[in-house]
């Protein structure tokens, strides 16, 4: 019989420090190996006896401009989506994520630094089959003209459309099949972005306090303000896809299905996950053989 794809963790503990995009706190991030079926678990080390927060849809408690997790307001962890996206891209099933503060560091605004950190730790195959969530039925959620949906598919694929009504970001649509070796090359380096005119307001409500040209694309009225410009011609929609992948991996398992969305964000992505798991007929667990063409990670 063919051997199934196995679960993965990292080989050794690794750490890095950086600023939080919204909090402006300098935070140390540590990734630790975890045993089979642990999942992705977060913990605040700056708080005594802090709760363990597992990656799952109901752990998400705030989606204003980022994905925040944790049911205890004093122990929440913000901006988890870029790290979650990188963990997906590396096929990591089990890891302990420790934080010395309230937010994952933003680094350069993409998931490339997290990918490098995982590369430095090394990836270890574990003695248990990897579980995939296969979408079995059409599931759709809508909100004020926006929508996100999943339909059955043998691989993980995405169709995404964005429209910011701005001369620097024209209406864009992109389709990707997220299969082996794709994520690192086409998605990981795409950075988060914001409009210069919105920065003052965001900071007035306690957001984007640590943002700058070194960790985000800043868009003026008629130009990108970053000296080196864009990394991809369509970097904006690629970053939105990066965000969607991170948000969807909050389910804790890679999904096999076709994701289609227009103007979606963190909140609608999480609403879609909750809708999927509201009915057992919408999904099922499967395993895949090692030679499967459906493998959606490196």
Catalytic residue IDs = 266
What is the C-alpha to C-alpha distance for residues 42 and 97, in angstroms, rounded to an integer?
A: 5
Helix-helix angle 112-121:81-89, to 10 degrees: 50
Q: Measured between alpha carbons, how far is residue 145 from residues 26, 166, 200, 219, 263 in Å?
A: 38, 18, 27, 25, 8
Q: Tell how far CA 178 is from the center of its chain.
A: 14
The length of the chain is: 298
166's enclosing H/E stretch is none
Q: What is the bridge-based pairing of β-strands 132-135 and 255-262? A: parallel
Q: How many CB atoms lie within 10 A of CB 209?
A: 14
Residue 100, both tokens: 């010395």
DSSP-derived secondary structure for 92-137? ---EEEEESSSB---TTSSSHHHHHHHHHH-EEEEEEEPPEEEE-S
Closest by CA to 267, choosing from 145, 166, 141, is: 141
Three-state SS for 14-55 is EEEEEECCCCCCEEEEEEEECCCCCCEEEEECCCCCCCEEEC
Name the β-bridge partners of 33: 95
What is the C-alpha to C-alpha distance for residues 256 and 259, in angstroms, rounded to an integer?
A: 9
What is the C-alpha to C-alpha distance for residues 54 and 184, in angstroms, rounded to an integer?
A: 25
């Amino acid at each position: 019989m063919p051997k199934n794809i196995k679960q993965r963790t990292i080989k050794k503990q690794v750490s890095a420090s950086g600023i939080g995009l919204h909090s402006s706190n300098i935070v140390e991030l540590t990734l630790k190996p975890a045993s089979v079926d642990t999942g992705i678990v977060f913990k605040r080390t700056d708080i005594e006896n802090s709760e363990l927060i597992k990656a799952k849809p109901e752990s998400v408690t705030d989606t204003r401009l980022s994905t925040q997790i944790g049911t205890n307001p004093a122990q929440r962890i913000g901006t988890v989506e870029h790290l979650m996206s990188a963990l997906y891209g590396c096929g990591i099933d089990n890891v302990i994520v420790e934080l010395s503060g309230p937010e994952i560091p933003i680094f350069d605004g993409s998931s490339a630094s997290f990918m490098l950190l995982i590369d430095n730790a090394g990836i270890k195959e574990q003695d248990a089959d990897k579980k995939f969530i296969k979408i079995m039925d059409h599931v759709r959620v809508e909100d004020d003209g926006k929508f996100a949906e999943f339909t059955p598919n043998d691989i993980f694929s995405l169709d995404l459309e964005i429209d910011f009504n701005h001369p620097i970001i024209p209406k864009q649509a992109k389709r990707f099949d997220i299969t082996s070796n794709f994520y690192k090359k086409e998605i990981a380096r795409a950075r988060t972005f914001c409009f210069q005119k919105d920065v003052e307001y965001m900071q007035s409500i306690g957001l984007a306090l640590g943002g700058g040209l070194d960790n985000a694309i800043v868009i003026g009225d008629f130009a990108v303000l970053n000296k080196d410009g864009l990394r991809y011609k369509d970097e904006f929609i690629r970053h939105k896809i990066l965000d969607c992948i991170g948000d969807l991996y909050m389910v804790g398992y890679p999904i096999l299905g076709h994701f289609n969305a227009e103007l979606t964000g963190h909140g609608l992505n999480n609403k879609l996950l909750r809708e999927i798991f509201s009915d057992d007929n919408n999904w099922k667990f499967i395993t895949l053989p090692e030679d499967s063409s459906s493998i959606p990670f490196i």
